[in-house]
Amino acid sequence: MRESDVLSPEEQLSPKKPVSLNLSILTGARVRNIKERFIELFLLICAISSVLIIFLIIYFIFSQGLPFLAEVGPSFLTGSIWRPTDGFAAGTWGIFPIIIGSLLVTLGAIGIGTPLGVACAVFLAELAPPYMRRILTPSINALAGVPSVVYGFFGLIVIVPWIRDQFGGFGASVLACWIILAIMILPTVISISQDSIRAVPREYKEGSLALGATHWQTIRSVLLPAASSGIVASVILGMGRAIGETMAVLMVAGNTVRIPVSVTSPVSTLTAQIALEMAYASGAHREALFAMGIVLFVIIMILTGAANLALRRRI
Partner 1 sequence: MDRRKRNEMIAYGLLWASGVSALVILIWVLAYIFVGGIPVISWQFLTTWPAGWGHTGGGIYPTIIATIQVTIISLLIAAPLSIGGAIYLTEYTKESLLRKVIRQGAEILAGIPSIILGLFGFLFFVIALKEYTGGWSILSGGLTLAFMILPISLRVSEEALKTVPLELREGGLGLGASKWQMIRTLVVPTALPGIITGIILGMGRAIGETAAILLTVGGAINIATSLQDPARPMTLNLYDVLTEYRDTTAAYGTAVILVIAILVITFVTDMLMNRYTRNLKGL
Binders in 172-191 for partner 1, by CB under 8 A: 183, 186, 190
226 and 315 in contact (C-beta within 8 Å)? yes
* Choice from 123, 162, 170, 204 touching partner 1 (CB under 8 A): 123
Phi, psi (deg, nearest 5) at residue 47: -65, -40
> Is the CB of 110 or the CB of 190 nearer to partner 1?
190
Q: Is 128 in the site for partner 1 (CB under 8 A)?
A: yes
Q: Is 214 in the site for partner 1 (CB under 8 A)?
A: yes
Segment contacting partner 1 by CB under 8 A, of 16-24, 76-84, 124-132, 199-207: 124-132
Nearest to 177 by CA among 194, 195, 155, 193: 155
155 three-state secondary structure? helix
Measure the CA–CA gap between 208 and 221, rounded to whole angstroms: 9
Rounded to 5 degrees, what angle do the CA atoms 26, 28, 33 make?
95
Q: How far is CA 2 from CA 5, 6, 236, 284, in A?
A: 6, 7, 87, 99
By CB under 8 A, the residues from 222 to 241 that bind partner 1 are 237, 240
* Choice from 23, 60, 78, 91 touching partner 1 (CB under 8 A): 60
CB-based contacts of 92, cutoff 8 Å, min separation 6: 79, 81, 82, 83
CB-based contacts of 76, cutoff 8 Å, min separation 6: 68, 69, 93, 94, 95, 288, 291
Measure the CA–CA gap between 286 and 288, rounded to whole angstroms: 5
68 and 288 in contact (C-beta within 8 Å)? yes
* Choice from 109, 114, 290, 310 touching partner 1 (CB under 8 A): 290
* Choice from 97, 238, 244, 254 touching partner 1 (CB under 8 A): 244
By CB under 8 A, the residues from 79 to 108 that bind partner 1 are none
Q: Is 31 in the site for partner 1 (CB under 8 A)?
A: no
As a whole number of Å, the CA-based R_g of the chain is 30
> Is the CB of 4 or the CB of 50 nearer to partner 1?
50
> Is the CB of 7 or the CB of 48 nearer to partner 1?
48
By CB under 8 A, the residues from 138 to 167 that bind partner 1 are 138-143, 145-154, 156-158
> Is the CB of 82 or the CB of 297 nearer to partner 1?
297
Shortest reach from residue 302's CB to partner 1, in Å:
11
231 three-state secondary structure? helix
* Choice from 7, 44, 199, 309 touching partner 1 (CB under 8 A): 44
Q: Is 135 in the site for partner 1 (CB under 8 A)?
A: yes
> Is the CB of 81 or the CB of 153 nearer to partner 1?
153
> Is the CB of 21 or the CB of 127 nearer to partner 1?
127
Q: Is 280 in the site for partner 1 (CB under 8 A)?
A: no
281 and 83 in contact (C-beta within 8 Å)? no
> Is the CB of 68 or the CB of 290 nearer to partner 1?
290
